[in-house]
Structure 1
Amino acid sequence: MPHSNIAPQTRTRAKTLRRELTKAESAMWDMLRDFRPYGARFRRETPIGPYIADFAWLAARIVVEVDGDSHETDHGRRHDLRRDAFLRGQGFTVMRFDNDQVLDGPDYVFTTIEKHVTPFLKKEFV
């Protein structure tokens, strides 16, 4: 009997995605690791139900997504709406940023994430 509700194919796909971060995802990972000394434990490419979150802090129920061009299509938008509805139904807060925001406006992205994670941090974030 499996130990969770995550399909083996989803786990395999998540492992592959962890090895193949985009430039924007790599920049986001660097940002999120700045919160680690304060108790934030984000994971990369984390399966949640049938979906894989780019970054998730499971204990705080926070998901951070970095979206490329595929999210700008009609199909991509519909998929994101279904996925976000599922994640919110599981109690997650979902934050989405496109690649350009992460690469060209990291200060905005960082402060936006900071607002959402600060209530969950163990020490005061300075």
Structure 2
Amino acid sequence: MSLPEGLLWRELRKRPGGFKFRRQHPAGVYVLDFYCAAVRLAIEVDGFAHATGGVASSDARRSAWLRSQQVATTRIPAKLILDDLSAVVTRIVEICVDRAKRGRENTPVPLHHPADGPPPRAGEEA
């Protein structure tokens, strides 16, 4: 890992906001810098090389593929991690909380468990 990735990992492994993060997480043919499975969030640390043409288009393809898998990607400039690590971690937690809220709102709550059979008829509640 690069210095910015190492610094960020040192903070993310403390589970900020109660969110668990993985590092070097495989996703299809890609390897994500960091990943929070609970909210399907990929975190990519971008150094200077990510601003160049070839790498930028590769990053765009990666992000598009991840979106097709319902995984959001947030890209963090390495310089920002070096300049203000606590603000970066705070923003990552904010994104996770927002995604967690949206996930609960969009997930239908089942009325019964289909594996347990149909719900009881009126008057037959046990």
TM-score, normalization by structure 1: 0.72
Aligned to 2:5: 25
Q: Which amino acid aligns with 1:27?
A: L
Show structure 2 runs of 5+ residues with no match.
102-126
Indicate how the Cα distance of structure 1 residues 108 and 74 shifts in structure 2: closer, same or farther if over 3 A, else same: same
Aligned to 2:90: 111
> Once the 2 structures are TM-superposed, how far is the Cα of residue 36 of structure 1 from its aligned partner?
5.6
Indicate how the Cα distance of structure 1 residues 72 and 37 shifts in structure 2: closer, same or farther if over 3 A, else same: closer
SS of equivalent residue, structure 2 residue 38: coil
Aligned to 1:35: 15
Q: In 1, distance between residues paired with 2:38 and 2:77?
A: 24
Q: In 1, distance between residues paired with 2:93 and 2:39?
A: 13
Larger Rg: 2
Aligned to 2:112: none
Show structure 1 runs of 5+ residues with no match.
1-20, 122-126
SS of equivalent residue, structure 1 residue 60: coil
Q: In 2, distance between residues paired with 1:92 and 1:43?
A: 14
Q: Cα RMSD between the aligned structures?
A: 1.8
Q: In 1, distance between residues paired with 2:17 and 2:72?
A: 21
Aligned to 1:47: 26
Q: Which amino acid aligns with 1:92?
A: V
